[in-house]
Amino acid sequence: MQSIGEKMNNNYKASISDKYKAVVIGGSAGSFQSITKILSIIPSDFPLPMFLCLHRLKHVRNGFVEALSIKSNKVIVEPYDKESIKRGGVYLAPANYHMCLDLGNTLSLATDELVNNSRPAIDLTFDTSAYVYREKLVGILLSGANKDGAAGMARVKEKNGLTIVQDPEESMINAMPNAALAATEIDLVLKVDEIIDFLLLLHQKVKNV
């Protein structure tokens, strides 16, 4: 008999494709360790840009990107407004700003109202990434305490991007993946190690594209 893990494995291997052009990751309380783990394993030549929107303290400008960078092979930047998206760049939404994508390879920051009680809001980063990358986007939602990201995931799905959530069983704070599962069709429900495995396989596929 096949274990659930193995089934999942086959499942996510089938989803790997060189059509993907970007990865967007959302998370909040409880996802810090997962995200540092992911970043510690992603190789420095992973070519797709990655957009990270993680809930964070609103009035602490410094320290977060440094903490995330300690184990990362990649340089993580908190972009300036209208910064161009580079191949392989990793972009973290700055404290107290929404981070959105605009056509023409551009990141835009904004300070309008909180969305789902959050700024940066995962929904906005996901929504605008889906608009720009459409079916070429991989959306990954990690654990977290509210429903932010669910509507964004629905948008990724609507544009035929790939939707992945962290297995709610893996985390105590699972409101976020559960809300996404309720809001839309999720292609893959993976544990963090499987998400990493997925990204490594994706790396093999896309690195020469």
User: In this complex, which beta carbon is closest to another protein, that of residue 130 or of residue 142?
Assistant: 130
User: How many angstroms separate the Cα of 76 from the Cα of each of 56, 88, 143, 188, 205?
Assistant: 16, 10, 21, 26, 23
Q: Give the active site residue among 72, 118, 127, 148.
A: 148
Which one from 55, 98, 127, 167 is the annotated catalytic residue? 55
Q: In the numeric block, which tokens belong to residue 154?
A: 């629905």
Contact call for residues 105 and 84 (beta carbons, < 8 A): yes
112 classed as catalytic? no
Partners of 90 in beta bridges: 50, 76
Cα 45 to Cα 123: distance, rounded to the nearest angstrom:
28
- The interface with another protein within residues 122-151 (CB under 8 A) comprises 123-124, 127-128, 131, 147, 150-151
Phi, psi (rounded to 5 degrees) for 45: -100, 20
Selected from 22, 39, 100, 176, the binder of another protein by CB under 8 A is 100
Contact residue for another protein among 14, 57, 67, 182 (CB under 8 A)? 182
Question: Does residue 188 interact with another protein by CB under 8 A?
Answer: no
**Cβ distance 156 to 137 under 8 Å?**
yes
Question: Pick from 19, 158, 204, 205: which binds another protein (CB under 8 A)?
Answer: 158
Assess 94 for contact with another protein (CB under 8 A): yes
Options 7-15, 31-39, 64-72, 177-185: segment touching another protein (CB under 8 A): 177-185
10 Å Cβ neighbour count for 52? Answer: 27
Catalytic, 28? Answer yes
Strand-strand pairing, 90-92 and 106-110? unpaired
Closest to another protein by CB, 110 or 206: 110
> How many Å separate Cα 122 from the centre of its chain?
9
**Does the annotation mark 59 as catalytic?**
no
| Active site residue ranges | 28, 55, 148
The footprint of another protein (CB under 8 A) covers 59, 61, 78-84, 94, 97-98, 100-103, 106, 108-113, 115-116, 123-124, 127-128, 131, 147, 150-151, 154-155, 158, 179, 182-184
